[in-house]
Amino acid sequence: MKRLFPILSVLTAIFLAYALYLALGKDTPTDAQQGDVYRIIYYHVPSAWTAFLLFFINFIASIQYLASRKPATKTAAKWVVIAVGIVGLVACFLPPVQRLLPVGLRPSAVATTVLLIPIFYFVIGKYFPGDNLDVLAVTTAEVGVVFCTIVLVTGPIWARPVWGIWWAPGDIRLTSTLVLWLIYVSYLVLRRFSNSAQTQMLAAALAVFGALDVPLVYFSIWFFRTQHPQPIIGGSSGGSIDPRMLHVLLISWMAFLCFAFLVCWSRFRLELLHREIEEGHAMESLVGAAAGASLPLGRSSR
């Protein structure tokens, strides 16, 4: 696997360069109202989608870590996740439930999202057992904060020439995104500076709470009046984005996902090594303390 990392790094760099070429190239049409400034969408939106995905993985890993403390809780959590997937999938296609969905939101899109919960839950549980769940959680949180920071930086840069202001304080999407960033920064601060034996448990609980803000950020443009435009992808009308723009947007997102995967991979290995070193230091301290305590006894016996 270590030999594969440099190869994937080179391929990802080429992929990112190609996505940048498409985003700035003349073959990609210019927005009729915004002009070339709209091209920041190819970094702003993929960064947001990537951050949401990483926070979602952090959410699933944190739930599994909390549930894995006791076998009974772990078993109950599995059945709850299965029930959520089945009930959510069926409910999305019931007329009473569909009437509650925002106008323009496809039931199939909601059903797919709900179905991803059990899929991610069992895949993550299989490949990241035990304490690796906590390592995965802190890794995805760190990388997710980086991409969320990109969103908060590119958003005002885009808003200034289009809206005439850098930031709209009353905009629910902007505010909820900032709150999301603050929650996960607080999560990382807790992990960094707390030495309590319950730090990992408290951080996992905070991550579960923070993930609840992700749906608010995403659905805010459906439920509230905001400066952001209505969705142009995934709506019942099929969206209003030019197919060529959508093509470049998806390529940019795939490139960002590859980059995020490599960063998470590297950070995951680094976190494992860090914990191994800490365990080694702890064992040396215990051995040293035991040797120091037994030394006076040895002298007295002589």
**If you write DSSP's letter for every residue of the chain in order, what string do you get?**
-TTHHHHHHHHHHHHHHHHHHHHHSTTSPPBTTTBGGGGGHHHHHHHHHHHHHHHHHHHHHHHHHHHTTSHHHHHHHHHHHHHHHHHHHHHTTSHHHHTTSPTTB-HHHHHHHHHHHHHHHHHHHHHS-TTHHHHHHHHHHHHHHHHHHHHHHHHHHHHHHHHSSS--TT-HHHHHHHHHHHHHHHHHHHHHH---TTHHHHHHHHHHHHHTHHHHHHHHHHHS--SSPPPSSSBTT---S-HHHHHHHHHHHHHHHHHHHHHHHHHHHHHHHHHHHHHHHHHHHHHHHHHHHHHHHHHHH-
The whole-angstrom separation of Cα 43 and Cα 258 is 14
How crowded is the C-beta side of 224, counted as CA atoms within 13 Å? Answer: 15
Report if residue 289 sits inside a domain.
Answer: no
Report if residue 106 sits inside a domain.
Answer: yes
Report if residue 14 sits inside a domain.
Answer: no
The whole-angstrom separation of Cα 206 and Cα 141 is 11
How do residues 107-121 score in pLDDT, each as one tens digit? 777 788 888 889 999
Instruction: Give me the domain span that covers residue 111.
Output: 37-257
pTM summary value:
0.86
Report if residue 187 sits inside a domain.
Answer: yes
How do residues 22-78 score in pLDDT, each as one tens digit? 888 877 777 767 777 888 888 988 999 999 999 999 999 999 999 888 888 888 988
Report if residue 278 sits inside a domain.
Answer: no
pLDDT at 158: 82
pLDDT at 143: 96
Report if residue 15 sits inside a domain.
Answer: no
pLDDT at 188: 93
| Mean pLDDT, residues 163-169 taken together | 75
Report if residue 284 sits inside a domain.
Answer: no
Please tell me the total count of domains within the chain: 1
Report if residue 272 sits inside a domain.
Answer: no
Structure tokens at 281: 């230091």
